[in-house]
Amino acid sequence: MVTDKSTTARLLCFSIPNLPVLQLALALLEVLEIVPPMEVTHVPFAPPFVMGLSLWRGEPVIVIDLAAALSGGKPSSDPYPDHQQYLIALTVVGEHPHMIAWPILSGSAARDIPSLIQSAPLPITAMNSDLFHAAIYLEGQVIGLVNTTDLFDHPKKVDLPGVVVPAIR
Amino acid sequence: MSGSTTMPPIRYLPVDAGGQRFGVPLDTIEVVVRVEGSSENTGDEALHDNPAPVIDLSYLLKGVPHSGQRLHTIAVRGETGIHALMVDAVYPIRTAEASRQILLPEIIGPARHLFLCAVQESEQLVLLLNINCLTMHFASLAQEFSNGHG
């Protein structure tokens, strides 16, 4: 194992509905807030993993089903159980910052990890590896570091006949 | 980005389609017709004197057929001419001030072009239809269907 305990990175570790066995993490700098369940408005013709649009402090937030995005599966048919929380994150698509959110299970926690740490294979091979920076071993557990910047570059885009859409980047 | 003072107020007709509230900008509306009866009596009959393609908004936006209850047909004018939007219910006209208008983020993809903006109404967001884009999209789908079944 290669470690350097002189420097550390701060991650928020969490798990998500529909993929509870997979421990995920996001750099703490990308996390804006964890909030109670949000009112989500469905947006027709959005990518399949997009649950809809919501507001956070008066600003629009795209709410996604992260499990569906990571696995390429269908979004949850029951995406709004009362016990869930939502993680609000900042991401950059192209050159523009955007706010996105997704449901998480309770029990998320901030953790300090050595900046040099052993990488690990993704525990579920069916995952879309583009949406992970890496997977790491931490205290015997595999944690996937989520890469939100590529979420919306994923090929699962909706082509809309009659609508010409300029490229984002 | 939320609304700024440069965005003019938008008057719109709130409608229900597929169980969701949407808004039809008033400046695109020619006429609103209450359609009595069951689902067999659809909008094309209501607009008999002015034939127009009929769009079941519930099916187009939500993938479910209209409820067949309290149907209304709204004749809207887009760049491709007049279309009839069939909706499940209509509500009193409202005005969305600039401060309540929210542009959809570009990362949401093509959907962004089908809606002018989202309007904050109490706790919920209402998507305002971009009639030009919506009717062009519908015309394109109809053409594809026609080509596939011709």
Tell me what pLDDT residue A42 has.
93
**For chain B, what is the mean pLDDT?**
82
Query: The pTM is what?
Result: 0.82
Tell me what pLDDT residue A83 has.
64
Tell me what pLDDT residue A98 has.
92
Tell me what pLDDT residue A6 has.
56
Spans in chain A with pLDDT lower than 70 = 1-7, 76-83, 123-126, 153-169
Chain B hits for A45, Cβ within 8 Å: 61, 109-111, 114
Label residue A20 exposed, middle or buried (CB < 10 Å: 0-12, 13-18, 19+).
Answer: exposed
Tell me what pLDDT residue A70 has.
87
Confidence of residue B43 (pLDDT cuts 50, 70, 90): very low
- The interface pTM score, or ipTM, of the predicted complex is 0.82
Interface of A with B in 13-52 (CB under 8 A): 39, 41-47, 50
A contact test, residue of B108, B122, B138 with most A CBs within 10 A: B108
User: What's the one-letter identity of residue B73?
Assistant: T
For residue A37, give how far its alpha carbon lies from the nearest alpha carbon of chain B (Å): 13
Q: Considering only residues B121 and B2, tell me which one the structure prediction assigns the higher pLDDT.
A: B121
Tell me what pLDDT residue A158 has.
47
pLDDT digits (tens, 9 = 90+) for B59-75: 888 888 877 766 888 98
B contact test, residue of A40, A43, A102 with most B CBs within 10 A: A43
A92 at interface of B, judged by CB pairs closer than 8 A: no
Tokens of B126: 């209402």
Chain-chain contact of A59 with B1 (C-beta, under 8 angstroms): yes
Tell me what pLDDT residue A155 has.
42
For residue A125, give how far its alpha carbon lies from the nearest alpha carbon of chain B (Å): 27
For residue A87, give how far its alpha carbon lies from the nearest alpha carbon of chain B (Å): 18
Strand order of the sheet with strand A141-146? A109-114, A8-16, A19-27, A141-146, A132-138
Tell me what pLDDT residue A138 has.
81
Tell me what pLDDT residue A154 has.
46
pLDDT digits (tens, 9 = 90+) for B12-33: 999 999 999 999 999 999 888 8
Chain B hits for A157, Cβ within 8 Å: 109-110
For residue B74, give how far its alpha carbon lies from the nearest alpha carbon of chain A (Å): 20
Tell me what pLDDT residue B65 has.
82
Chain A hits for B22, Cβ within 8 Å: none
Label residue B61 exposed, middle or buried (CB < 10 Å: 0-12, 13-18, 19+).
Answer: buried
Confidence of residue B46 (pLDDT cuts 50, 70, 90): very low
Collect all residues with Cβ–Cβ distance below 8 Å to B116 and sequence separation of at least 6: B10, B25, B128, B129, B130
Q: Considering only residues A64 and B149, tell me which one the structure prediction assigns the higher pLDDT.
A: A64
A3 at interface of B, judged by CB pairs closer than 8 A: no
* CA B52/CA B76 separation, integer angstroms: 10
Residue B46 contacts residue B74 (beta carbons within 8 Å): no
* Measured CA angle at A135 (ends A133, A140), to 5 deg: 155
Tell me what pLDDT residue A1 has.
46
